[in-house]
Chain A
Amino acid sequence: MALKLYDYSLSGSCYKVRLLLAFLKLDYAREQVDFYPGRAHKSLDFLELNPLGQIPVLEDGDLRLRDAQAILCYLADKYDKSGQWLPRDPDLFGTVMMWLMFAGGEIMAASAARLHDSLGYDLDIAAARQKAHAAFRILDDHLTLRAIESTRWIAGDHPTIADVACFPYVALSGDGGIGHEDYPALRNWMRAFRRLPRFHAMSGIPEFV
């Protein structure tokens, strides 16, 4: 087994993969990508690895994958024999997929706001924050309902890759000027997530959420 992650410490998308690798106790090699200021993810060399010019990229032997959500699915499918992180029960599987798409879609507005505030990306910051708040509202409502149903996780009664995919950009949103004040269910969920065995934080994740 030779897992290699093309990684950037400040990337929330790479962090999704690092988290699951830790949860699954998998060893891997890191190839650091000079995302900023070097923009190495747009270099010709990197575009050969991923024509979309995005991180993360994971290599497992001869297999090369892009897209954090796809990588989470792959790692859970191959390496989590318990089936906890990627449930095979059809209802749960569908629910996990739905929230994975949400993590790679709507929640990424919070990533855009963070890139604007931290790394000076030129984009419509008001629109990014508004979209992120709308996404957070939806996830907060969902987690409120889940709490009424006596569970703290996005799907089922244990953490799944849906939680892993949604956590980083929700937790990092303060970096983009998006506070958690209006989202009590998100705060409870983030506290529970932080207590998972082998959880590790990254820069910008507040110690107390």
Chain B
Amino acid sequence: MAITTDPVAINHWIACGWPGKVPVGGYWDTVLLGQNIRVSRPQPDIYEAAILTAGALGRRLPVQSRFCCIFTTLGQDPRPLPQIDEFDEPDRRLINCGSVGVNTSPYRMIENFLDMAHFPFVHTNILGAEKKTEVVSHKIEHRKDVDEIWATDCRFFQPAASKAATGGQMTDYTYRVMSPFSIMLYKNVHNDPGRNDAICMFVQPKGEAQCLAYMPMALVDDVNTTAAIIDFQQTIFLQDRVILENQRPALMPLAPAAEIPTKADVGSVTFRRWLKQMGISFGIYEKAAA
């Protein structure tokens, strides 16, 4: 795999590991946008990263450890990591689900995360029910001040909205696309309507259609075990994974007529338009369009 020449894609902080993957005093070799890198951990709280060329270490890369993940960038002028205040609230449970490999374009994964219409069919009797499939009208906007996409006023009927839920409920959602490789949602906490669970997905694109997904969460839940919460989240994600890996083409098409959206796909339309405007070409089906 060769490193991408796309200047838009490289100027992001991208997740490249989680603490359990990199032993103290050891390292983990991985790939970022086609570039081999080594993530090492000389001390428990200190991570380093460097370009790896034919087994030899090259240029040092900057590293940040945030949101239960390790981030680095290949670019000289990356957009900053987003601010997610929930990860700093003292009573939150921060849960790291490791990483899961998905063979598709990073944007297919972001788009799926942003989509509610598939809940009843893919996450049947968990995040949706086949008798209540309506995606009610919601607001989606490109917030130019922060250059993020936000979907607000989202509501969906969910038989089992979270590990903490005890029955069907209308769940309120807010989605936030923070970069082409990161997205999160806020959904109302089961027994505390004033607060939201924060669930993120950071995508590490190894190649144009080979990714790792990291799903750190900052939850309000003092009932369930960590094992049960992770099990719930992974059950959902592996239901998505089989669908994602069967989408064709694997690369994301941005031409307006490539796929026919419906009203429920307004989030996808806005996301694809945003990708097109930023001129990203890595992982995009129509190279000429970018």
CA distance A10 to B99 in the complex (A): 14
The verdict on A118 contacting B226 (CB below 8 Å), with A10-B235, A32-B231, A36-B98 known, is no
**Contact (A32, B227) CB under 8 Å given A119-B98, A120-B212, A203-B235:** yes
Please, could you name 28 A-B residue pairs with CB atoms under 8 Å apart, sorted by A? A9-B234, A9-B235, A10-B231, A10-B234, A32-B225, A32-B227, A32-B228, A34-B231, A36-B234, A37-B18, A37-B97, A37-B98, A39-B20, A117-B101, A118-B238, A120-B212, A174-B242, A174-B245, A174-B246, A175-B238, A175-B241, A175-B242, A202-B235, A203-B235, A204-B239, A204-B241, A205-B242, A206-B242
| Range, interface on chain A | 20 to 34
From residue B104, how far is it (CB to closest CB) to chain A in Å? 12
Give the dominant DSSP class at A's interface: loop
Beta-carbon contact of A203 and B238 below 8 Å: yes
CB-CB nearest in chain B for A117: B101
Docked Cα-Cα span, A63 to B228, in Å, equals 25
Q: Which B residues touch A37, using CB under 8 A?
A: 18, 20, 96-99, 230
The complex places the Cα of A203 from the Cα of B232 at a distance, in Å, of: 11
Chain B residues closer than 8 Å to A205, beta-carbon distance: 242
Given contacts A10-B234, A175-B242, contact A34 B97 (CB under 8 A): no
- With contacts A118-B241, A174-B242 taken as known, whether A34 is within 8 angstroms of B230 at the C-beta atoms is yes
CB pair A38 B235 closer than 8 Å: no
A159 at the interface (CB under 8 A from B): no
Asked if B101 and A38 make an inter-chain contact with CB atoms under 8 angstroms apart, the answer reads no
Select one of A38, A117, A119, A203 contacting B230, CB under 8 A.
A38
Number of B residues contacting the other chain (C-beta, 8 Å)?
A: 27
Cα A8 to Cα B228 in complex, Å, equals 9
- B101-139: which have CB < 8 Å to A? 101, 103
Q: Which chain B residue has the least Cβ–Cβ distance from A116?
A: B101
Task: Tell me, yes or no, whether A177 is within 8 Å of chain B by CB.
Answer: yes
Given contacts A37-B18, A175-B238, A203-B239, contact A119 B231 (CB under 8 A): no
Interface centre among A37, A117, A202 (most CB of B within 10 A): A37
Contact with B along A98-115 (1 / 0, CB 8 A): 000000000000000000
Q: How far in angstroms is the closest Cβ of chain A from B162?
A: 15
Known: A177-B103, A204-B239, A204-B241. 12 other contacts (CB 8 A): A32-B228, A37-B96, A37-B99, A37-B230, A39-B20, A117-B101, A118-B100, A118-B241, A119-B98, A119-B100, A202-B235, A204-B238
